Structures are given as C-alpha cells and as structure tokens.
Chains A and B, each alone.
Chain A
Amino acid sequence: MTAPKDIFLPSLDRELGSIHPINQVKDQLTELLKSFGFEVAEGPEVETEEYNFDMLNIPASHPAREMHDTFYVDNKNKLLRTHTSPVQVRCMLKDQPPLAFISPGKVYRKDDDSTHLPMFHQIEGLYVDENVNFAQLKDLMYKICHSLFGETTKLRFRPSYFPFTEPSAEVDVLFGDKWLEILGCGVVNPKVLENCKIDSSKYSGLAFGLGIERIAMLKYGVNDIRDFYKSNLDFLRQFK
C-alpha cells in the first residue's frame, strides 16, 4: 500500500505565545510563597499617603516622601504606591492574626535611567502571629532563596533600614564571586502593628520584599531592565 499524500506534506506548526517574563517570575514566586502558606492579596496602585507612608511608620521627614521620589497625582491628594506594603496594611486592618499575605504588583518611583524605571514590580510578604522572630525570618529567606537559586546558594544577611521593620535586613546572594542584593526583610515594627490595630504586646510579625525585575534579570541574564518593556516580539519570543 502506498503512503497517503499527507505524510509527505509539511506539518501545520503553530507558534505558542508567552506570558510576559516579569509576570512569569511573579507567578513563580507567587506559587512558591502560596506553597509556604501565604495568601495572595491585591490593592490599588493609586494610594493615599496614609496607607503608603503614615501607617507604615514612614515619617514626614523621610526622603521617600519628597516629590523627587514619589509620583503624586490628583493635586497631591493621592500618589502612585511606592511599594506594595499598603496592601498589607489593608489586610491587617481587615483581619486579626494569624495572618500570612503576599502582595505582588506594580509599584512606582520617580526614576528613569538604565537601571531604574518609573514602574517596576514587587512581591512583598507579611506574616503576623504570636512569637514570630528574626531567626524564623531567616529560615523563610533561606527557603525562598534556595528555591529560587538552588539549594547550595550562599546567603548573607546584613543590617539595613526600612521604617516599617525593626530589625531590618538586606539579603545578598553569592553569584560567582559577587554578592548581589536580592531582597529586603525584617521584623515588623511594633508601631506598624499598633497602627493597624494589632496588639504588639501579643503579636509580632515578619515582612519581606523582592524586586521582580531584579530576579528576572538574574534568572534570564537580561542586562538592561528596559528590554522588558519595549514589547519587542523577538525579545518576548524567548520566554515561551
């Protein structure tokens, strides 16, 4: 029997599209953190100073509140959130502990150069319960970084400053012979808990935040952050 003609015809290949690489990383991180027990929470990108700064213990004298760092809108009545932490404030005001939320999303800072963009993505996490401490925060950070970069990845914790956490830390990861800053974290400042009507004598919390573009750049070897936002098909095709 002779073979049918169709066998010799070229196949009807069809191209798959792709989720944007930033959203791929965001989704992977979200799934990872959900597997640890965190729930996803979302909130508005146009925020008030109260939620973006005041409730988070960022004083009026903090440089972040200056016009050169924050985009203000609507005659300074509102602003474009500078971090996703206001989402967590809303979560804390809504529920009492134990709480475990992550808030992935877009954030805005008044920057525009080869390494900074006026819009970028963050994923922040918050866990509030009784007896939460810094040593447990370290454990969680190890788990996150080892999941992202491999079990043998070396981490370095060093003190930093975020008004909403105390103690605060930056976590560096060793790539080759270079330490790269990956995330910020800390024990939730008791003042923030009190601002959110949570009894800080009973509960404590831990919080952390990662810049998604930074993780994506490391993961995919992208050197210029602007490449993510040119919508160049040749670039996007590589992330199927």
Chain B
Amino acid sequence: MKIAYPHLLNFFKEKPSLEELSDKLLQLGHEHEIEGDIIDLEITPNRGDCLSLKGIARDLNYFYKAELDRDTYEGDIPKLDFSFQNKAKDLCPNISFVEIEIDGSISGYKPYLENYFKDLKINKNNFFTDVSNYLAYETGQPTHCYDASKINDTLVLEKRNKKEKFKTLLGSEIELEGDNLVFTIGGVAVDLAGTMGDESTACNNKTTKVLVECAYFKPEEILGKARQYNLTSEAAYKFERGVDYLAQESVLRRFLAIVSDHTKIKSLSMHSEQNKTDLQQINFDSNKLNSILGTNINEKDQLKYLESLGFKNCKSMMVPSHRSDLEHTNDLAEEVARMVGYDNIAAESLALGIKVKSMEQSLEEKCKNLFVSHGFFEVINMPFTTEESESSISVDNSIDKQRAKLRTNLINSLKNNLAYNQNRQKDSIKFFEIADIYTKASQEKRMAALVNGRSNKNFKEFNAQLDYAYLKGLLNTIAYELLGEGLTYSHDSCDEYEFFEHITFKGKDIGGIGKLNNNLVDSKSKTPVFAFEISLDGLNLSEKKIEKTSDFPAIFRDISMSIDNPEVLKELSDKLTESVKKMSLIKESFIFDYFENKKLNIMKVGYRFKFQTEDKSLTDKEVDGLMKVLTDKALSINGVNIEGL
C-alpha cells in the first residue's frame, strides 16, 4: 500500500522527519520502501486496520499524538426511503447507505482530494467514485457508489449459486459461478459484494444522484473472489483483511462532508443496519503480559501503550472495533512489545533443559559420506514430473502440465541430471540422491545412485569406464560395512534396463540395480549408464560388536580356478560363500584376481583366504584340511578347473 508522507503528516501535531517516521514504522512491524515522498508499505495480513492513512496514523499515535478525526457531516440525516433486503446478515451484519443528490457542478477538487490523485499518480474517474477511492485511502473503509437513478427496484443482498454473466464497471465481462455474495436488483446481480460493481448501475460524470453503500463483510466471504474472477480490487483486498465493523455510518458522514466541501447537496438520506456491535474483550493481566515478554514493564506504562492504540480498560480490555486480529493476552503482549520496540527488550539467557539423546550418525549420513569419498555428488531434485503411473499422486493445482504428478522413483530424476551434464560435455558422472517418495499406496525413503563415463582423472583410470561391478561393489560395501550383512541379487528383465537385478536384504525386496537402457536417456552420449535405487525404510546400521583381535600369525592361501561361463562363476561364488560361513578359522576371503578371455570364452578367478585364531598359531595341516574342503566344493561344479590339481 502506497501512502504519501505529506498526507500522513496531516494527522500529527508533531511533524517527524521521513527518516524518523520510517524507523518507527519498522519498529511497529510495517516493512516498507521509500521513494521520494511515497512510502510503499507491506502490511501483514492480520493488520487490515492499517491499510489506510488513518490506520497508520493510529498505530503511530503513541509517538506523534495523532489527530484522527476528520471533518464529518454532523447534521441530522433523514431516513432513506428505499427498499433493501439483507438476506445475508450473518455475512454482512453491518451495512449503511446514504443517498445524495447534488446540483451537478464540480468546479475543481480541494487540495487534499487533488493531491491524492496527483501525489500517488492515480487516474481520476468521476466525482463520486473519486471521493469513494479517496475515502478508502483515508479511512480504509471501501464504499460502493450506485447511480441512484438506475436503482429502480428492491436492492437485495444474498448469497446464491447462479451461473450468470456479469459486466464489471471496468468493462470486463466475467461469468459468476458457484456461491457468491451479490447485490441483486430484479434477480440480476449488480454488485459482486466487496469486490466490484457492475456496469449497469455504475456512476459516470453525469451522475448527480448517488446511492453510496458502506458495509462490513466477513473476510472469509470475500477471500479469493477477486482472484477467482481475475479482477483487481482494492476493496476486496481490504475486506479480505478485515475492516472496522462499526465505522460504516461515520465513513458515510465523512463522504457527505467531502461532497459538501465540493458542491451543494440538494438532498440526502441514510439507511443503517447494525447487527454486530459488541466489542471483543480480553482479560488484562499485567504480570502475565510481562511473563510472556520476559520484561518488567509496569502496569501504568502497559496501559498507556494500549490506550494509545484505542484499547479501553474497563475491568477487562475492550478491543477497538478496527482490530479484528486480537483475542488473548499474547496479543496484548505483542502490542506492548511493538510500542516498546522489540530491539529494546533485553535478551534473557536461555539454556534448554533437555539433553540430546543421540549424536551418532545415521545410516543415511554414513551412506552419504561413503558416496562422497568415492567421488559422488549429491543432487536434490524437484518431485514434480509429467510421468504418470497408476500409483502416482496427482497435483490438483500444478504449476503446469509438465509438473502435474509426484515422481514415483529417483532414477528418472538422476537420468535427467545425467543428460543435463552429458549435454555439457561431462564425461565422468557419479550422482546420488536420497529423498522421500510418495505414492498413492505408500511413503518411502529411497536412495539412488547413477554412474557413467570415465572412472577417474588420473593416468591409470582415465581410460577405464565406470561399470556395473563398480556400482554393485559400492552397494555391497554399504551392505557389508554399514548394514552388517550381504545383499541377494536375482536377475530379471525390466523395460528401463538392458540388464537388471532385483535386490533383497534379509528376504525383503528393497530395489534394483542394472545397466540403463541408453535409448531412454535424453542425451547423444551412448556410453553405458549404471544405476541402482533401493528403499532405506527398515534398514538400520548394524550394531558394532568389538571382537578380540588375535596376536597369533595368520596364514593365507590362494587358489586360482578357470571356469567356462559366468553362470558357473555365480554358482562357485555361492558355494564357496556358504562353506566359508561355516569355517570359523577363515577370517577373511575375497576375489583377488579376475581375468576374462572373451575369444576363448575362459575366465580365471583367484580367491584368497585368511586363516587365524585367537588362542594359538594354526598349523599347515589344519589349514590344508579346510582348503581341501573348499577345493572339493569348487571342483564338484561342472566347468570349474583348478590348475595343478
């Protein structure tokens, strides 16, 4: 909301500088920018009462002694003889009308009215509308002007659900639909209440007899109407935030005063309905107020601050009718704090009487650290997507069609990240993401990783490509090192992957890993892309048990085997793993060598086993016995040979 500094000064006995005023406005919570003499205020949504010159002056009253009363028409006003039916008293409890007839000649505007248009660079319209607009600026209360000569039947205020065309006074045509609070004449809507009137009853420069309506509408009834019909309405903005529910008659008297300031009034009459008159009351407890703020402000000062804002202390605190945002002692505390200045309240040392239960890293944190140490970059993606699946949740009011669904996996986001970087000549990419995935059926924390391109930027690894074994190895590292147990893989087919394996952990399907189908990556690069995605739900860090270490020497044994196809390798690996689990003397085993001759279709694999015990030095005989069990197990598989045996 823009106000002009000189206009505001008219309300004060003291004349603060613009800079001083600016500081006070900020202290009171009215953020603003200043350009020349214009103060552009960002009023918080709860302070509808400050959307006017008078409202701001009232808030500054304590500092500069505001003179809030403007000239109003003080004479007796005859009762308006017109037919009005309020069928929505619960939505509009207070409403007043004044009918004014003037002699038709306006020679020019008085300085206060002229300067409003000039200083704020606002276009004039017609006399009555101009007065109405100025009055909203001055008092914060919108009024609506009907050309009285065009009101030829009962004016009805009603909430109704009727689809109808409505041409606004600004000339735009809209179609009303759903429930709307409207003023109607002869069943036709002539005013979308609190938002905008129609063209057929609008005033123009020839209007000499006006019916001015001034109402209090419940904010929730007006909220969103202007936006719904794509209208720009200052009135709706004010009603949405709440206007003074007792100001209607006095605002119309001010309207009359301004009119009579400019021309001769031939006749005037008024109609008023007031159904909401009780003031809100809040129990005032000075001690409680201090305990909320952590201050020691004496009661007299507290009352002084509150009374400067229009509160009246009569047993309990009577809240002025322009403040619809106050309900309890905390609200009063905020009012006092604003007057004192938040910056003037001393901080009081706070020590939380609560101890943190755990400072240990979570599985998620440990996984992240592992990824980072292996050169992976974490990405964060928006959850919105265009991809639709049966389980995807739809966004009812999406920004656009491309973001109308919530993603059901992380891999597709990583593929987009890959394409973005491949298209920018990145030839070594390692990404991971951990995020919650929401589907119609479930909510799940997932972790996904993707690799593509060169292994590393050093002379040994530059020409090596990131491959399936690399990614699977990383996943196995997470399983063995963090979860304390291995994963199980089972080959399957999947449209998105050239090859794919399901991953299970402790018998539960947790995700999959594979080589992505390059045709589904939006990039010209066709280097292989490998990815996995698993659910982290139900996975926990393994409990660390520290075992006694042995001071006795270890014995190492290696065996090299040749095999003739990859499936034999899987069987060999499974059988050896099973056997090793049963041999407590084997402390470690791993593949130390692997060679593949594609031409001869031969693979060679070397296993190393570490034997050790805590209570003695092992003998060759003991170790040889166990090695024989292992070699026999290996040789029992068709297609496995051990050279030298």
The answer to whether A and B come from one shared complex is: yes
Q: Is B227 an interface residue (CB 8 A)?
A: yes
- Min Cβ gap B465→A in Å is 16
Mask, A122-162, CB within 8 Å of B = 1, is: 00000101010111111110100000000000001111110
Given A134-B337, A158-B26, A160-B44, A190 contacting B354 (CB threshold 8 A): no
- Give the complex CA separation of A19 and B366 in angstroms: 12
Residues in A212-240 with C-beta less than 8 Å from chain B: 228-234, 236-237
Q: Is A187 an interface residue (CB 8 A)?
A: yes
Query: Is there an interface contact between B354 and A37, defined as CB atoms closer than 8 Å?
Result: yes
Q: Is B353 an interface residue (CB 8 A)?
A: yes
Q: Is B292 an interface residue (CB 8 A)?
A: yes
* B334 contacts across to A, CB distance below 8 A: 159, 166-168
Residue of A12, A20, A66, A170 contacting most chain B CB atoms (<10 Å): A20
Q: Is B184 an interface residue (CB 8 A)?
A: no
- Min Cβ gap A164→B in Å is 11
Q: Is B39 an interface residue (CB 8 A)?
A: no
* A174 contacts across to B, CB distance below 8 A: none
Query: Is there an interface contact between B331 and A166, defined as CB atoms closer than 8 Å?
Result: yes
Residue of B381, B384, B396 contacting most chain A CB atoms (<10 Å): B396
Query: Is there an interface contact between B378 and A23, defined as CB atoms closer than 8 Å?
Result: yes
Interface residues of B: mostly helix, strand, loop or mixed? Answer: loop
* A156 contacts across to B, CB distance below 8 A: 343
Q: Is A36 an interface residue (CB 8 A)?
A: yes
Q: Is B359 an interface residue (CB 8 A)?
A: yes
Q: Is B607 an interface residue (CB 8 A)?
A: no
Query: Is there an interface contact between B376 and A17, defined as CB atoms closer than 8 Å?
Result: yes
Given A61-B219, A63-B45, A74-B393, A230 contacting B457 (CB threshold 8 A): no
Q: Which stretch (B96-104, B397-405, B520-528, B536-544) binds chain A? A: B397-405
* A229 contacts across to B, CB distance below 8 A: 380-382
* B333 contacts across to A, CB distance below 8 A: 134, 166-167, 187
Residues in B251-301 with C-beta less than 8 Å from chain A: 291-295
Q: Is A84 an interface residue (CB 8 A)?
A: no
- Give the complex CA separation of A236 and B380 in angstroms: 11
Q: Is A18 an interface residue (CB 8 A)?
A: yes
Q: How many residues of B contact A (CB 8 A)?
A: 87
Q: Which stretch (B73-81, B430-438, B557-565) binds chain A? A: B430-438
- Min Cβ gap A66→B in Å is 5
Q: Which stretch (B27-35, B151-159, B165-173, B487-495) binds chain A? A: B27-35
* A20 contacts across to B, CB distance below 8 A: 377-380
Partner of A187, one of B330, B421, B424: B330
Given A187-B292, A231-B431, A158 contacting B375 (CB threshold 8 A): no
Mask, A178-222, CB within 8 Å of B = 1, is: 000000000101110000000000001000000000000000000
* B331 contacts across to A, CB distance below 8 A: 166
* B357 contacts across to A, CB distance below 8 A: 39
- Give the complex CA separation of A178 and B372 in angstroms: 37
* A53 contacts across to B, CB distance below 8 A: none
- Give the complex CA separation of A10 and B462 in angstroms: 13
* A230 contacts across to B, CB distance below 8 A: 420
Query: Is there an interface contact between B29 and A129, defined as CB atoms closer than 8 Å?
Result: no
Q: What are 18 sample pairs from A and B whose C-beta atoms fall under 8 A apart? A: A13-B457, A13-B458, A19-B372, A19-B378, A38-B352, A39-B356, A73-B396, A73-B406, A100-B352, A112-B399, A134-B294, A135-B345, A139-B348, A158-B27, A161-B47, A187-B330, A229-B381, A233-B426
Taking Cβ atoms with an 8 Å cutoff, the residues of B that contact A are 26-29, 31, 44-47, 219-220, 223-224, 227, 240, 291-295, 327-328, 330-331, 333-334, 337-338, 342-343, 345-357, 359, 368, 371-384, 393-399, 403, 406, 416-417, 420-421, 424, 426, 429-431, 436, 438, 440, 443, 456-461
